[in-house]
């Protein structure tokens, strides 16, 4: 197998909707979330629902606090501004990444959605959080498929897609897939598999698992990805 410049032949990634770092006890605790992320062992982590300067989370910069506690870069990409603050997506990497935010389609005045598109070594990483509205979510899923197919080389797409594995056909048609394992990625009675890690472009998810935690209303989904 040829050497993969800048990346190992396998990488561990994770996606985590942190619910503005509010746990099942309703207590906002960034340090608790950081501990859960460290426990995943992932070198690349995608976040959803990070806060910046919002009252509900103490007017803090959660991405900066997570970076301090985890000892790695965390890039923050806001998707929504409100009440003097912002919230949105984040990407944590050990060595940093070239990244930007691409807006996804939406209907009317619903919440804006986006996708981080980043290059980490020779690996493309897409991090997103899709709409609860099924019509918007369908168009956003197709947009993600288009983004993924426009990238040359191995790709990992991860995030809270707000839909189960059966609804991901546009992504599978774009060559992205998981390992076929179904996980409960939400805590409580609503537990469903709506967070996903998919790979394509020569990359492949070889196994996936979750980390039990009450630090959010979701649990982290972790995956081992083999690279070409």
Domain that holds residue 135: 10-226
Output the pLDDT for position 93: 96
- Summarised one tens digit per residue, pLDDT across range 81-90 is 998 999 999 9
The pair of three-digit structure tokens given for residue 101, joined into one six-digit string: 């935010």
Asked whether residue 5 is assigned to any structural domain, the reply reads no
Asked whether residue 69 is assigned to any structural domain, the reply reads yes
Tell me, yes or no, if the pTM score tops 0.85: yes
Asked whether residue 139 is assigned to any structural domain, the reply reads yes
Q: Residue 141 phi/psi, 5° resolution?
A: -65, -40
Output the pLDDT for position 205: 98
Question: Band of the pLDDT at 6, cuts 50, 70, 90?
Answer: low
Contact 39, 211 (CB under 8 A): yes
Asked whether residue 4 is assigned to any structural domain, the reply reads no
Give how many domains the chain has, as a whole number. Answer: 1
- Looking at residues 58-83, what average pLDDT do you find? 96
Helix (H) / strand (E) containing 51: strand 44-52
The pair of three-digit structure tokens given for residue 199, joined into one six-digit string: 């790979």
- Summarised one tens digit per residue, pLDDT across range 88-105 is 999 999 988 999 999 999
Asked whether residue 133 is assigned to any structural domain, the reply reads yes
- Summarised one tens digit per residue, pLDDT across range 20-53 is 999 999 999 999 999 999 999 999 999 999 999 9
Question: Band of the pLDDT at 1, cuts 50, 70, 90?
Answer: very low
Q: Residue 113 phi/psi, 5° resolution?
A: -130, 155
Task: Quote the mean pLDDT of the chain.
Answer: 94
From CA 100, how far away is CA 149, in angstroms rounded? 17
CA-based nearest residue to 205, from 186, 180, 183, 174? 180
- Looking at residues 114-135, what average pLDDT do you find? 97
- Summarised one tens digit per residue, pLDDT across range 170-181 is 999 999 999 999
CA-based nearest residue to 176, from 109, 223, 119, 110? 223
Domain containing residue 70: CATH number = 3.60.10.10
């Amino acid at each position: 197998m040829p050497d993969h410049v800048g990346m190992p032949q396998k990488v561990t990634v994770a996606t985590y909707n942190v619910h503005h770092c509010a746990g099942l006890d309703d207590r906002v605790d960034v340090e608790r979330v950081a501990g859960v992320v460290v426990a995943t062992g992932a070198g690349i982590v995608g976040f959803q629902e990070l806060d910046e300067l919002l009252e509900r989370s103490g007017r803090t910069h959660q991405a900066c606090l997570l970076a301090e506690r985890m000892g790695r870069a965390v890039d923050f990409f806001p998707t929504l501004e409100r009440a003097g603050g912002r919230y949105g997506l984040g990407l944590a990497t050990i060595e940093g990444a070239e990244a930007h935010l691409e807006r996804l389609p939406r209907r009317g005045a619903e919440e804006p959605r986006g996708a981080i598109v980043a290059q980490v070594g020779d690996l493309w990483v897409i991090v997103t959080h899709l709409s609860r509205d099924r019509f918007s979510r369908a168009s956003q899923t197709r947009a993600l498929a288009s983004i993924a197919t426009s990238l040359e080389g191995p790709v990992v797409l991860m995030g809270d897609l707000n839909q189960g594995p059966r609804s991901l056909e546009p992504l599978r048609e774009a060559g992205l897939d998981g390992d076929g394992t179904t996980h409960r990625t939400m805590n409580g009675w609503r537990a469903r598999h709506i967070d996903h890690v998919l790979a394509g472009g020569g990359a492949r998810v070889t196994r996936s698992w979750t980390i039990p935690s009450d630090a959010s209303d979701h649990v982290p989904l972790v995956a081992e990805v083999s690279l070409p």
